[in-house]
Every structure is written in C-alpha cells, then in structure tokens.
Structure 1
Amino acid sequence: MLFPNGTPNNTPNHKIISNNEGNICSLLLKSIDDERIDILRSILTQIASKSDFHEQVDQICYNGGTVLHHAVARNSVDSVRTLLSAGVNPCIQNDNNNTAYRVAFSEEVKNAFVQELLQAVAQSNLGRVCQMISAGLNVDSIDAVDTGNTALHWAASYGNEDVVRILCQSGANVNALNTKNETALHDAVRRGNDAIVKCLLSYGADPNIKNRSGENCYELATKMGGAMLPSLSLNTLNRTIRRTTSMDSDIDRSSLISTDTTMMFVEKPSSSSVGRIENWTDLLWPQPKYIDLDERKLTYPYPKDGRLKIYFDKASSAEPRRLMQIIQMSAPILSSVHLELDYRGYAVRDQPALNGRITCGIFENGYCSGAYTLTINEDSIELYGEDHTGVRHGFSTLVQILRIFKECSEIVNWNTETSLETLHETLPESTIKITGTVNSEQPRKIGAIPCLTIRDSPDSSFRAVYQDFSGCKILNTETLLQLARRIAYCKASHLFVNFEVRTTDRYQLPYTTRDLFQITQVCDELFVKFVPSLDVQSSYTESDLLCRTIDSFLDDFPLTKAVHFGSNLAIMIISNRTILNSVQRRIPRIYVSVDINKNNASLINVLPPFVTICIEGKYPFEAENLLSSRLNVVLRFSTSDPGFLCAAPESVAKKALLATRLGSKFPILGAMVCDLSTGCEVMPPSLYYMSELASLGVCWNKSVDIKRFCFLLPRIAAEHFLLDGNMEALFKQMSTIGRVEHEITRFSYGLKTAESAGEMQEYSSSSSSNRKKPISVFVEMILNPDNMVLERLTPVIFKKARIELKRSLKALDQAKKRLPYNYELALVLAEIQIITELMVLACKLGQSLCTYGINPSLSPNDQKASFSSSDRVLQETTLVGYQMVNIGVSNLPSAVRTDLANRLLEIRSRFQHTWLSRNIANTLPNALKMFDNLFRALLPPNMQDYGRILL
C-alpha cells in the first residue's frame, strides 16, 4: 500500500527522505571528513530555521549512525562541539543501540559532551540537560580536574531550582566535593538562593561538611548575612525526608541514564528446580492429591492396537449407558493421540489379560462428589468414582496420562532437531523417568506407563470460569463450546456467561434460542454447570421493567438451575425481596456479585441460603470483617490486572495463592476466575488460559505449590488446552509480553522492580494509598496517545522493551516452523503474534515520543517561562515528567507518524481475521474502533481525508 506521497509502508524511517535531505546529509558528512568546521556551521545555520531541522540532522545517514556518530568516530572535537551547539539530538542510537557518547573513545570528545551538559545546566535548559543525561553522560561529570565542579555545582551557582531538582532526581551526588572541598550547598548558600538551598536539603545535602577554610554551610550563611539560616534550620526535617526520597533515586537513575548493564524486562534468576519438570506427574493438572508410584517400577503396556477396551464392573451401581456417555466425551481428546474407545460390556472375573483393558464403576464410599480412584496395574486399568462426576474426573486424569506417555514415546523416536528449547529441557527428563533406562544399553520400553494408584477428590465444590460479554467481545458458539470442553477436561465445575442489556432498548441476546439450548446441553454432558448471568447498565431501574427483563432472560434458559446477576442488578434484587423470591421460584440457586461495604453489609448478611454472593478476592480481605459466616461466599478474580492488557506471571501466581489463603481465614466455597470486558478488548481468549488453569488447579487441590507450578503453567496450558506440549513456547511468550508490560509501567510510576510477586497489584489495591491506580503504559498509549504522560521513561527503556518483544516474535517464528497442521494452534500463534506486534508498535511510538517530542500544552514562550521559579508550581502540576518527554502524537515528525500508521494498518488487517474466528461478526466494528482512533491520531493533518478512505 502507498500513501499519497508514494512512500511504501515498509520503508524504514531513515529512508523516508527527499533528495534534498540526502544531499544535506552528504554535505554534513563531507564537511566533517574535510574538517571544514566553517562549512559545517554554515549548513547548520541555514537549515536551523526549517521545521524539519531535526529530521535532517538526526536521521541515520550511514552504517555507523547519525552525523554526530560520524563526528565522534572521526574524533573531530570541533565538529562534535559545533553539532551539539546547533542542537543535534545526542540520544539517537545507531544499529548497535549506542548513542554517540557511548562510542566516543577520546577524553577530548567526551569533554565536549560534558561542556554541552554544563552549558545547558547554566542556562537552565531542562530539555537539553535531560537529553545529555539520557545520552549516557555521568550526571556527576566534572568541568575540569583542577576545579572538580560537578553539574550540580554549576546548577547551584548559575541554574534555577528546576535544574537542581532534575539533577538530584537523576541520581546526582548532592554531597560531591570540588577541589575546594565544597558541596553544591556551599555554592547555593553563597549565591543566596533560598529555593535551591531547600531543594538540595530535601535531597539529603549535608550542611555540616566543611570546606578547606573550615567553614560549614551554617558558618558560611552567617558570614553572608544570615539570610539562609532559616532554611538551613529545617535540616532535621529535610534529612528525614531524604530517607524517604532517596529510596526512589535508583529508580529515577535507571529511567534516565542509559546504562548497558541495566537488567530490564528479564526474568529473575531462580533455582534449578523452578520452571523445570521434576517428574512426569508434574504435567497432571489439577495436581492429584495422592499419587503412589509402584516401587518395583512395573509398567503397563501402551495399547498396541490403539483401542481402549472399556468394561463395566457388575457390582457397580452405575448404569453402563450413562458411563458410556461420560467416557465418550473424552473421545475427541483421545483421537489426538490416535486412540479409540471400544465398549465391551460387563467385566468377567478371571478374564485373561487384555492389552488396553479398562474397568469402570461407581461405588459410594463416603467421599465428596467428584472423588475417584485410578489404579494402573501390569495388565489392566481400574477406575472407580464416588459418583458420575468422579468417573468423569478420573477418566480425564487417565486421558492426561495416556497423552503424556504417547507424546513422550514419539519424542524418544524423534531424530529431528527441535526448535523449542523446552523440549530439550523437560520432555527427555520425563522420558527418562518413564523408561527407567538411563545410561542403559538395553532398548527402551517405548510408551510404557508406570503402574500407580491415584486417590483424588476436590477441595472446593465451586471451580468456575466467568466470561463477560458486556462489551464488544462476544465469543461465537463454537469458541464458547471449545472453552467449555477445555475447562471440563481440567475439572471445572461451573461456566458463567454474562450478558448486559439496555433497559431502554428492546430485550435481545446475541445468541439464538437454539444456540443457548446447545450450550446448556453440552455443558451438562461435560459435568459443567452452565450459569447464565445478567446485568444492566444503570444502577437504578423501575421494578416493573426490571421484572420483565429478568423474566425474559430466564425464559431463554428453561433448563438452567442457577443464575447470576451482575453488580448493578444484584443490589436492586437483594434490596427487593419480592423480586428475589420470584426468581427463586423459577431458579433454585442464585449467584450475585456485590462489593460489600458498611452501607450494604446489613442487607447482605440476611440473604437467604439459596443465594451465593461473589466477592472480589484481594489483599487485605476487608470483606471478612463485614460478612456473616452463615453466608455462601465465593471469591472472584480477574484473569488480568485492571488497566493492563496482559497478566504478569507474578500476578497470576498471587491470585491463585490468595484463593487458597483467603479460604483459610473465611469459609469459602471456591473461586471464580473472570475474563472481564474492559475498554481495550483486543486480547484473545488464549491469553488468559494460564490464569484460568491456575485458578482451577488451586481450587481442586489447595495444597499445590503454586509458586513452583506457576513457572510450569506454559507447558501445562500447551499440554491440556492446545493438546500439544510442544507448543509451550506460545504461552512462554504470553508471559513475556505480560512481564514487559508490567515492568515498563512500574518504571513509569516510579516503582522499583518487584521483588515479591504482585507488588504492582498491592500498589493498585492499597486502600490507604491516595495515589491513582496504575494503568498500563501501553493501554494509555493505544487509547489516548495525545494526552500520554511518560514519567521517568526514556527512549532507552522503550528500546529495551522493544528488543525483548522482538525476541518473543523470533521465538514465535521458530515455533511456527514446528507447528503441525492444526487450525487451532495456528490461530493461537497468530493471536499472540498480533498482540506482540501491537506492543512493539506501542514501544516504537513511546520511543519516538520521548525522542522527538515536547509538551504541546506549552507554547515556546511558555516553555521558557516555565523554567523560572515563579512558574514552578504550574510546571509541577501541568507538566509531569521532563521537558524532553513527548505527551502528544502531534509533535512527532510526519515521516515517523506515517511509518507508525502504515504498520498499524497491517496489524489491523490481520486482527480482523483472528477476531472473526473467535467472535460474533457484528462485534467487529466496535473492536476496530481502538485501531481506528489510534490510526487517526497518527496520521498527519493533511492525510486525514485519505485515512478515512482506508478505514
């Protein structure tokens, strides 16, 4: 596709230049080569007034980088000084991710950069100061060896308070000494600037340090007339403040200084056992409570003919036909490993051994519903459940075992080199444990299953997945049924599907009556209770209209025995017992999602026993102090953090851990993991598989070590949701993009990288904090780029995030090479690729905003005025962050905006196909609004009409 100017959408930024620009670039390089500083200065003077000045001088003009890179490489000190004095951007990186300062090898050239920094400090040019620091200059650089004055000394002597603050926030040593043994505070006191003195004291300046004349700041202030003594007297308070603010100095420094050794967006090192499969049983999910492997290491031969012979125990109370229906639900999964079901009738005692024989039955032994016992002997398999649900769960575990060992046997015979490193790390270990022939010359027993006994039962009777269709995302029937089969395979008990209706419009659900009947029937066969959910947009609706809406909704689900009401509808229903009782006469079990507080606690605590309330699970769990222990309570967790596109691995683990620990403090029936509708609904359902698996796993077995298993979730999700353990790389990249999103947002909010799991969530959920809840940098950038505020972020941080995301794209490309011919796997891979590319685009946009932009809310005159002390308050409230940070897309060069818009169009086109594969077709226009709004913001004003034609 071509834009009107004829520039193809795949043309890199540095190639989108005219012939004139190319000539200027060549002239600049030529003048540097010839050491013609007069010509260089003349060219820069002529083009300085042009609007595209920075596009011409800051572009990548040769293999080594920009014109400034070339001057540094030539060791031309005069050229470097001339370029810097003309305003050339020193933050631009070459293909090796190095700024011009980073490639400087002589002290003379480095000193030229330092002099530019000191000059900017003396002139209170905040934007230039931040640029120089971001380029890699040491914030404590000195002017000369014989004087030893740092940039902070210069700021205290000549600059304003804003420059002093920026240097301190950037990690400058406030107590650095010059050759006179004086600190910057000495200079500020001698200058008599009260604001700078207070600023230095607030960042920990020590007034007791004595210079070579033996004077500390108190004595110097007295000597200068005593005007500074009141400010110095606040030293005790300021030193207390310093202990608080200095904790953030490392964060601010890491966001400003471009250090190559900074470790960002990289997983923390862990012990060798974390993230590795210690035994093949680690792949079973949910983890069975009791597994007894045969000590003699006996094995059961894998069915040679690919047929499982199903027999029914005569003594069992179960009807064979019903058992056949239950077992048959696993046939599609068994077909993935080329196994078929063969029903043989009742088992006969003393029957000779038969390869692939399985005996099933139901015996009520006093365990809870869903309990089962699975025994694998040398010649047969026995499966006995407490009830029909137990048989269903037990057979799911057996299918998992059969699939694990079938795949392992294929890997043993697989002589081709795999491109997924996880196969080298985990599956061969599993195979070794299975065959027991490590370092043995005997042939391995391919596909042999170890003899074992599993006794298992659920800890929680409520293990739910919640799908919210109140926004533009509405899964089609095929995708919803596929989700039901997947969560049933992992022993879920409930599937909630939420609909939101407008009481002002005619009542209508997005599915037909036939679709709803099919969904209900399939869930019933899977032993998953389908619970329809209803909510309205308004928190107040007239009683008559409310009753009619509820009746119409229940009429669409004649077979359901449970219903759920969202937060708006729930308050109106529990406040009106007449409506509540009328619903109960039709539906025996009612679920309501409420946020309990002191105002409604008395109303909620008297709810009848047929009502179950769904409370948000968070720490601290303040609801336990308000709820009565007589209530039926379940916890609800979101699949991702509010305000974020993806869930970080740490937050997934923390929510699963909370589900177990909160249950020990208050009687909880179980947990519900919710895929909620948000303002940015481009995330595919595959992105939340690991969150759903984690919640189901801890609800079934509360004793599972989720801190360890959270690192195994990518493999477990690939094994049981995609039915292909080789596709672990897909879910690993999901974790990567979630981690990158959370880390870059932590930097934006000034938070240190979390040492413990879920620090960001604690920050956002803390009720005592007056700070705003964190919102993902990517979400803000995609939804509202023109008002984007990028605090503490630099081009370096966005660059490193983009590099990490590109590594993910490379890993996805490698996984694609090993991808079998499977539509579902290809769709999941395409979904993850699109989201990763969208985040790469957001990083590129953020990098451009930081590199090129200025604050559009300030006019050129206002920018100079904002540096003065009188306008300091306006700057601190209106302009958050630094002058060099762009808070508006309109400030980007046209070439950059065009390049970003072209890339967004390509992502948008591919997104349409994946969206229509998962969702109802009429939801596509609303889903594309996010892309369209960003596209319009990126397009230059003179291309808006053309943009409307493209969309």
Structure 2
Amino acid sequence: MDQIARDVRQHRSVDDMDDRMSLISCTETLTTQIFTDSPNYDKYRDGDIDSWTDLLWPQPKLISIKHHSTRNFEFPKDGKLKVYFDDCSSANPRQVMQIIELSKPLLTCVGVDIEYRGHRLADHETSALEGKVTCGVFEDGRPSGSYTLTIDAVRGVEVVGSDYAGIRHAFATFVQIVRLHKYAQQKMAGHSGQQLPNGVPNVPSTPNGNASGDHSFLNGSGVSKQLPDIGPDGTIKELTIRDQPDRSFRAVYQDFSGCRILNPDTVLKLATRLSSCKANYLFINFEVRTTDRYQLPYTNRELFHMMQVCQELFITFVPSIDTQSNYLEGDQARVIIDQFLDDFPLCKVVHFGPNLASLLISDRKLLTSIQRRVPRIFLSTHVDEKNSSLLSTLPPFITLCVEGTWPFDVEKFVSPRVSIVIKFSTGDDGYLCAAPESVAKKALLAAKLSDRQTVLGSMVCDLSTGCEAMPPSLSYMSMLASVGVAYNSATDMKKYAFLLPVVAAHHMLLDGDMVSLFEQVQTLGKVEHQLTKYAYGYWKPNSSSSPNANADISSASETTLFGISANKKMPISVFVEMILNPENMNMERLTPVVFKKARIELKRTSSALDAASKLLPYNYDLALVLEEIRLVTELMVLVSRLGQYMCVYGTHPIDRKKSFEEGLPYSPGRVGVINLPAPIRTDLANTMLRVRGQFQHVWLSRSIPSTLQNALKMFDNLFRALLPHDLQEMGKQLL
C-alpha cells in the first residue's frame, strides 16, 4: 500500500497538466503576427529597455548624453529647484510660473519642490548654487511646441521654448527625467536598505511615490536591469534634448453618444495626463436625439470649467455634436446647432459627426453661417466617389476627419487643397479588449499615413460602440501609442509594442510597480481574440499580414500593410456574442478544452492582479484602475465558464416545451442557456450578480450617475437569461 501511495503522489494529475496549458500559443504571439524581424525585438518582450531614455514619452527627437562626463547634475540637498527667468526672453514670468505649476504636483510627490527666484543674476552661469533652473522663450523659427532642454552639472537646467507650449513640453520632459531618476534612487536604496535623503520613503507606500518605473517587485528583477544608465546616487548625467512635434494635430476623442458619459473630474484627470504626454486636442462628442428635447449632460458651469482647465493645459477643447439619424431638415439642424453653439460661446473650434456633416457638406449656406460663429470646423465623413466633388470644393476653414485604413484612397477622391485628420479607434469593434497587435498596427499605420502632405495629424477615438460599458483604463495604451507617433512619427512602434505597459504605468498611473496591470490588459485582449479565432476557424496567423518595414510598398502589398487588410470584416468576439445573445450560440468549432484553457489564462491574470494589489499604495486612482481590470477579468471568467458548460451540455436533447415556456428560441445546431441544468444556471446567475455589483461601483466612480440604468441593461439581460424560469420572479427583486 505504501508503494502504491508513493506511485500515486509521483504521478502528475490531469488537472496539473491542464494548468500548464495555455490558450495563447507560442506561435500566435504579437511577434509573429506583425514582425518579420522579430529576433531584433525579442529582448523587449519582458519589458527590458536599452536605456532609461526609452521611458520618455513621446520619444524626443534628439537626446545627447555626455556619458564620459566626470560630473553629474545633483539634486539640491534642500530638495528645492530654484527657478530663474532669462532676462533676455520675451516670456512673461507670471505665465511661465503658471506653466511650471502644472508639473509641480508630479515633483512634490517624489520629494522635489520648486522655488521661484526671479530673473537670473550676473554670476548665474558660474554660481555654485544647487538646483538652478533657467527658463526662457525665444522664437528661433521652429514650430510651435519646440523646445531645448539642457542639464549641466554647473550651469544647472536650461529650458528654452519656441513659445509657451514649448515651455510646457520641456517641463513635461524634465519632470519625467526627474521622476525616473528618483525612482531608480528609491529602488536602489530599497534593495540596499539605505535611507533616502529629504525624507523620501524607500518603500512604495506613498501615493504615486513610486515615480515611474518597473515591475521588479513582481518579477524579482533589479532596478539596474529595468533602468540602465542611472547611477545609485540618482544624479542625472549631463544631457541635451532638442525636440519638436512632427504634427500640429495630436487629438484624443471621447465619445459620449451612448450610455457612457464620464464625469467632469474623470475628463479633466485624463486631459491632465494626456497633456503631460503632449496631446493638444480633446474632442468631447455628444449625441442629440431629434425626438427628445435638446439637453447636454453637463451644466454650463462644468463645461466652462473643462474649457478653462484645458486651455491652461495647452489643450484645445473641441465640442462635438451629432444626431442619431441623418434624416434631418435643414431648419431643424440649424436650431440644434445654434443651441449647441450657445452652450460654448468661447469656443473657436467645433466638430460635427457623420450625420450632421453629410447635411452641412451639401448645404453650404448653413455651413457659412456656422463659420461666422466658429472660425474652424471639423467634419467626420466617409469618402467615396459619390461625395468626392462636394468634398473637394469645401471651404478652407473645413478639416475632414476620415478613418485610417489601408489602402488609404482618400487622396484619390479629395482634392489636395483639403486638410485631413486620420481617425483610429482605441479598441477593436465587437470586442471587449483590444489585441496588442491591433494597437501596434494602428500606431504603425498612423506613422505611415502621417507622411502624406494633406494629413495634419491623427485622432484616437474612444467610441461608444459595441460594449461601451468597458472601463476607460483599457484604452490608455492605445491613446499613448497614437499620441506618441503623432508627436514623433519616427518612434519605433515595433519596439514599443512590447514596452507600452511600462510606458502606460509611467505616464498614466504614475506608478511603475503597476506595470503588471497593463500586462494583464494585454493578456485579456490576447485571450479574447485567440478564442474568437478558434471559433471562426482562424487557426493560424496569416503569413501575409506580417509587414516588411524595410521595404517600400510594392504592388504585392497594395492591399495589406502592417497586417491591416483592405475591406476585411473582423468577426464579433465570442465573449461579446455570448454576453449579448446567450440563448442562440454556434459552438461548432469550440470545445470544453478551449474554454478551460481560456479560464486558466484568466486565472493567471487574477493571480497577477492579486499580487499587484499587495503592492498598491494608498491611492484611489490606482485602486480604481485595478478594480476595473479585475471586473473585466471576472466577467470573462464567467463567460468562459458559460461557454464550457454550453459545450458540455450542448449535445444533450432539450425539452421543446420548456424552451417554449421560457421564451428562449431554439434553432437546430445552435446552443443556448436552455441546454444547461438548473443548478448550473443558478450558480452562473449568482456569479453574474456579484459581477454586476462590482460594475456598479466602477461605473459610478467614473461616469455620471444618471447613466447607470442604461449601462446595467447588458448585465441585467444576461442575468435574466441565466436564471431558471422558476426563479425569474425572485430575480426581479434582486435587480
């Protein structure tokens, strides 16, 4: 018996073997899907970087570091940077102070304060004073937003901008440099057990105190691996950064046409983060139903406050409006537009959605009357042969917003005299989460199309289509990628496709130890897309979808670029279909094993989120992002369980009479919740009820409370479908 017991203990169980299996095949990774030269980028797969400068975002055009310099820039012992104003500059010191104050909160949380000293002294260049920062605006012919940042051991920090926007961009870059070095110093002190100066803690226990950085606490790697070229003392090597934006238009578009309407605080926090990453346009879109009374979800006071804050952040606030239908008379459209413009009397820019745009393009008289109130107008429209003549004759104050697709045929139909903005969505239509490869492909395509002379820039759109109940934190990486390539089109997105989680943790969460949160977002996207490929028979990646960035576009690649095919309709996600239509599913190609593998990956994600929660500082914003990602994970686990049960019980005959009583449709060859036993349906419904409660908390933390009822419909419909017929009355009391 003892021998038998030993044999049993040594034998590997079936469950243990399954736990080692993964839905994400090693041949279905981001590398093979969009890169042909993947060996050159393998070293970035784990988030490793070549230099700490890789973590600056957007990437500056020129970084010159004096690696052999014997002296470095040291932070002042009193923890205060002394700001001086160049007396030769044309800048108003008060306005420069207002710009610097925007970055001050990001410095104070890492133990660095700012002190204003006035104009520089005669011996300023040779003075031994620590922490000197000299600011000035000099128009040297470079575009708006250009700057030069010099860090010298003796002369201190010199910030020179071509205008006030350049000062803003320079200080945003300088703050990133300071936070990275403070983070490295903090980590090294934590590993060695030393005490940091200025009372900065050596453990991640303060809000945003981690500055920027890595996930070394999660994977055991040291800071020397994650932040190379930074010494243990945290001093900054002498360097010069010379930078300017490639495109004057770097926009983020928030669509509030559905039930998701973010509250003003969330909008302004997002604008603040994006301003630090050098975005300069924020579109807020509203939808007006012609059958209802005109009313915006924000008060005039809230709208004015958002416009004022965006102006201070050097972001152009662009109100946008559209109707639910294009069947609209000119007089009715004029009334709606006039009411909308009355709510934004100080705006100089406005955007109209596709339905109103189609009317304005044909009614030039109405378009001209709007221009008398708003000098610049953006129109979102579809371009084809039918409207090419109208679009080519648009007045010069119009800018067209068109979808970024390949091949890009807009120039065939629209005259070069018309300015164009390229639009990209943050997610994938019909999916809960964007796949990492789709984020990289869109960024690569945006950089490619930005070379066109008619293209002013790009716009990344967080649309209210599909499952709009998904939290906004899932879109952070897409926003950063789009803004980054719009600012610097030479950014190597093949490299940053792997580093986006690290960059997002640095600049959106301001906490490098939370990198694992965005890594799990990528995992969710991989699981969802991979399972959908299984469902639709896409077993292997299309070899023709891998781009060759070193070769010119030839006739063989006219229809495919960076894996984006012309007129290719992507199937809807299995997860989304099961959430919206659990009564009638086609499970022909899916098996219980596939769903179990998906659950294994999702459980690993849950474990990683639990590990990250133990490192979470006392910070509400970080906790909210963690709960948002956990919510999506648990929802996908629930759907995976539902799919697994459908595959198991789908072959069993069902009671047609019971199906008729419950009102659930029956189709031969289709599977639905009617196939499941009552105890399993009850268990799934209880889990759905818990997920619904989590969703309520997350939704009310981000969005306007009045939108909760419509947002819950998706969860309520799934709950009712899961609940057995005899428990429906009780279910009504629970909702």
Taking structure 2 as the reference length, the TM-score comes to 0.87
Shift of 1:620: 1.9
**Which one of the candidate residues 52, 55, 59 is aligned to 1:283?**
55
What SS does structure 2 have at the residue aligned with 1:609? coil
Q: What code does the residue aligned with 2:82 have?
A: K
Shift of 1:511: 0.2
What SS does structure 1 have at the residue aligned with 2:539? coil
Greater alpha carbon shift after TM alignment, 490-499 vs 627-636: 627-636
Q: What code does the residue aligned with 2:148 have?
A: T
Q: How does 1:448-597 map to 2 (within 5 A)?
A: 448-597=235-384
Residue matched to 2:108: 335
Distance 1:704-1:940 versus aligned 2 partners, 3 A rule: same
Distance 1:913-1:559 versus aligned 2 partners, 3 A rule: same
Residue matched to 1:310: 83
Q: What code does the residue aligned with 1:370 have?
A: G
Aligned equivalents of 1:370, 1:431: Cα separation in 2: 28
Q: What code does the residue aligned with 2:77 have?
A: K
Judge conservation of contact 2:172–2:277 (CA < 8 Å) in 1: yes
Distance 1:838-1:888 versus aligned 2 partners, 3 A rule: same
**Which one of the candidate residues 360, 385, 390 is aligned to 2:135?**
360
Residue matched to 2:438: 651
Residue matched to 2:229: 433
Residue matched to 1:694: 481
Shift of 1:753: 3.6
Q: What code does the residue aligned with 2:677 have?
A: P
Judge conservation of contact 1:648–1:742 (CA < 8 Å) in 2: yes
Aligned equivalents of 1:587, 1:409: Cα separation in 2: 50
Distance 1:316-1:756 versus aligned 2 partners, 3 A rule: farther
Aligned equivalents of 2:540, 2:185: Cα separation in 1: 42
Q: How does 1:916-935 map to 2 (within 5 A)?
A: 916-935=700-719
Aligned equivalents of 1:764, 1:785: Cα separation in 2: 31
Residue matched to 2:426: 639
What SS does structure 1 have at the residue aligned with 2:411? helix
Does 2:569 match 1:778?
no
What SS does structure 2 have at the residue aligned with 1:570? helix
Deviation string for 1:849-884 (max 9, x for gaps)?
111114889979xxxxxxxxxxxxxxxxx76xxx6x
Shift of 1:432: 4.5
Does 2:698 match 1:914?
yes
Q: What code does the residue aligned with 1:364 have?
A: E
Aligned equivalents of 2:652, 2:356: Cα separation in 1: 44
Judge conservation of contact 2:403–2:424 (CA < 8 Å) in 1: yes
**Which one of the candidate residues 894, 899, 903 is aligned to 2:683?**
899
**Which one of the candidate residues 647, 654, 657 is aligned to 1:850?**
647
**Which one of the candidate residues 818, 822, 836 is aligned to 2:619?**
822
Shift of 1:565: 0.4
Aligned equivalents of 1:926, 1:682: Cα separation in 2: 10
Does 2:150 match 1:375?
yes
Residue matched to 2:497: 710
Aligned equivalents of 2:545, 2:606: Cα separation in 1: 26
Does 2:504 match 1:749?
no
What SS does structure 1 have at the residue aligned with 2:247? coil
Shift of 1:718: 0.6
Taking structure 1 as the reference length, the TM-score comes to 0.68
**Which one of the candidate residues 311, 316, 320 is aligned to 2:93?**
320
What SS does structure 1 have at the residue aligned with 2:466? coil
Distance 1:512-1:735 versus aligned 2 partners, 3 A rule: same
Deviation string for 1:801-820 (max 9, x for gaps)?
11011101101100111111
Shift of 1:749: 1.4
Distance 1:629-1:791 versus aligned 2 partners, 3 A rule: farther
Aligned equivalents of 2:350, 2:287: Cα separation in 1: 14
Aligned equivalents of 1:528, 1:792: Cα separation in 2: 49
Q: What code does the residue aligned with 2:168 have?
A: R
Q: Which runs of 5+ in 2 are unaligned?
A: 33-37, 194-202, 205-214, 548-559, 658-666
Judge conservation of contact 1:313–1:361 (CA < 8 Å) in 2: yes
Aligned equivalents of 1:756, 1:423: Cα separation in 2: 33
Shift of 1:470: 0.4
Residue matched to 2:210: none
Judge conservation of contact 2:544–2:563 (CA < 8 Å) in 1: no
Q: What code does the residue aligned with 1:282 have?
A: D
**Which one of the candidate residues 372, 386, 396 is aligned to 2:162?**
386
Does 2:187 match 1:399?
no
**Which structure has more strand as a fraction of its residues?**
2
Judge conservation of contact 2:654–2:675 (CA < 8 Å) in 1: no
Judge conservation of contact 2:257–2:464 (CA < 8 Å) in 1: yes
What SS does structure 1 have at the residue aligned with 2:517? helix
Which protein, 1 or 2, shows the higher relative CO under an 8 Å CA cutoff with sep ≥ 6? 2
Deviation string for 1:790-832 (max 9, x for gaps)?
2411111111111011101101100111111111001100110
Q: What code does the residue aligned with 1:533 have?
A: S
Aligned equivalents of 1:471, 1:411: Cα separation in 2: 44
What SS does structure 2 have at the residue aligned with 1:407? helix
Judge conservation of contact 2:429–2:466 (CA < 8 Å) in 1: no
**Which one of the candidate residues 723, 730, 735 is aligned to 1:946?**
730
Q: What code does the residue aligned with 1:400 have?
A: Q
Aligned equivalents of 1:797, 1:656: Cα separation in 2: 31
Aligned equivalents of 2:423, 2:166: Cα separation in 1: 25
Aligned equivalents of 1:931, 1:650: Cα separation in 2: 29
Shift of 1:348: 1.2
Does 2:44 match 1:274?
yes
Shift of 1:758: 7.1
Shift of 1:353: 2.2
Aligned equivalents of 1:841, 1:387: Cα separation in 2: 53
Aligned equivalents of 1:922, 1:573: Cα separation in 2: 32
Q: Which runs of 5+ in 1 are unaligned?
A: 1-62, 64-68, 74-92, 100-257, 436-443, 861-877
Aligned equivalents of 2:61, 2:51: Cα separation in 1: 15
Aligned equivalents of 1:316, 1:855: Cα separation in 2: 81
Aligned equivalents of 2:287, 2:368: Cα separation in 1: 22
**Which one of the candidate residues 717, 721, 729 is aligned to 1:937?**
721
Judge conservation of contact 1:856–1:888 (CA < 8 Å) in 2: no
What SS does structure 2 have at the residue aligned with 1:619? coil
Aligned equivalents of 1:601, 1:331: Cα separation in 2: 49
Aligned equivalents of 1:763, 1:657: Cα separation in 2: 7
What SS does structure 2 have at the residue aligned with 1:752? coil
Residue matched to 2:68: 296
Distance 1:856-1:502 versus aligned 2 partners, 3 A rule: farther
Q: How does 1:33-432 map to 2 (within 5 A)?
A: 95-96=15-16, 271=39, 272-275=42-45, 276-297=48-69, 298-351=71-124, 352-379=127-154, 380-415=156-191, 420=216, 424-425=220-221, 427-432=223-228
- Overall identity of the aligned pairs, in %: 54
Distance 1:259-1:606 versus aligned 2 partners, 3 A rule: closer
Q: What code does the residue aligned with 1:387 have?
A: D
Q: What code does the residue aligned with 1:375 have?
A: T
Distance 1:323-1:756 versus aligned 2 partners, 3 A rule: farther
Residue matched to 1:798: 595
Distance 1:803-1:494 versus aligned 2 partners, 3 A rule: same
Deviation string for 1:176-198 (max 9, x for gaps)?
xxxxxxxxxxxxxxxxxxxxxxx
Shift of 1:98: 6.4
Shift of 1:339: 2.0
Distance 1:666-1:840 versus aligned 2 partners, 3 A rule: farther
Residue matched to 2:584: 787
Aligned equivalents of 1:856, 1:659: Cα separation in 2: 51
Distance 1:601-1:422 versus aligned 2 partners, 3 A rule: farther
Residue matched to 1:156: none
Q: What code does the residue aligned with 1:405 have?
A: H
